């Protein structure tokens, strides 16, 4: 039976000429293609009322959380910092409900970039609203203008992690974020870090909760690096 992967969707809500002013629900094509290549059936879950979450999660086998906007800081008890960028509160509320329902229904979660940060918030952790607030910041974590197919910085992976068996002890990743995990949620463990100490991957300390989060963007490199594709193959067929 084909594994059904629910991808939490994003929105384009500003008026833009290419869409004739229409709002758009979407997910990056890389997620769709990688999941299909791994043998899964991707379904985009459009942002909606949080009451929809239970029904959505019951219809899928696994949940994928993609990247995107900053997370509204009041969800972790802070006022917005001057360097906070675009947020979408409706998306935050909906995805937080999806996370809680996926945990409740024991459905595996794979989270990328913002998705990893949101899991930490959902489970009681906090974020640096901007990396300038992190005192040990030494690595460029937003690699623009370098193209995403090129990896730009190293991560060190813990040997007692699922990620280690996929990528090894040291790996090089692309990087597109200005926020990061600050206080780690009690139910999570950091399984990879950059050389300046930023959390680059998380897993659950409870082996019964199948959860993997990565800070980089494998959906932008899986077609040029087979190890990146292994993340999707693991998610679809093993996690």
Residue pLDDT, tens place only, 29-51: 999 999 999 999 999 999 999 99
81 is catalytic: no
Domain count, the chain: 1
Which of 153, 177, 217, 228 is labelled catalytic?
217
Which of 95, 101, 113, 177 is labelled catalytic?
113
Q: Which residue range(s) make up the domain with 166? A: 4-237
Distances from the Cα of 114 to the Cαs of 11, 58, 96, 118, in angstroms? 14, 23, 12, 6
Q: pTM for the full model?
A: 0.95
217 is catalytic: yes
CATH number where 67 lies: 3.40.50.880
Of 144, 124, 120, 140, nearest to 132 by C-alpha is 140
Phi, psi torsion values for 24, nearest 5 degrees: -130, 130
Confidence of residue 24 (pLDDT cuts 50, 70, 90): confident
Inform me whether the pLDDT recorded for 165 exceeds 80: yes
219 is catalytic: yes
Q: Retrieve residue 119's tokens.
A: 């899991």
């Amino acid at each position: 039976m084909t594994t059904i992967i629910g991808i939490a969707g994003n929105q384009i809500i500003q008026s833009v000429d290419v869409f004739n002013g229409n709002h758009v629900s979407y997910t990056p094509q890389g997620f769709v293609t990688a999941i299909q290549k791994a043998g899964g059936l991707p379904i985009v879950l459009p942002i909606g009322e949080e009451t929809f979450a239970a029904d959505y999660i019951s219809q899928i086998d696994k949940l994928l959380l993609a990247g995107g906007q900053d997370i509204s800081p009041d969800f972790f008890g802070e006022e917005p910092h001057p360097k906070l960028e675009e947020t979408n509160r409706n998306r935050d509320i909906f995805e937080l409900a999806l996370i809680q329902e996926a945990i409740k229904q024991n459905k595996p979660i794979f989270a990328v970039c913002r998705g990893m940060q949101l899991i930490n918030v959902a489970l009681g952790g906090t974020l640096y609203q901007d990396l300038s607030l992190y005192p040990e910041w030494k690595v460029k974590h937003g690699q623009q203008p370098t193209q995403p197919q090129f990896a730009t910085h190293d991560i060190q992976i813990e040997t007692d992690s699922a990620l280690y068996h996929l990528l090894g002890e040291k790996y090089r990743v692309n990087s597109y974020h200005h926020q990061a995990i600050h206080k780690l949620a009690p139910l999570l463990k950091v399984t990879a870090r950059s050389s300046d100490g930023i959390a680059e991957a998380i897993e659950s300390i409870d082996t019964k909760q199948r959860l993997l989060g990565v800070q980089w963007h494998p959906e932008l490199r899986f077609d040029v690096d087979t190890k990146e594709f292994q993340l999707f193959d693991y998610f679809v067929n093993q996690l």
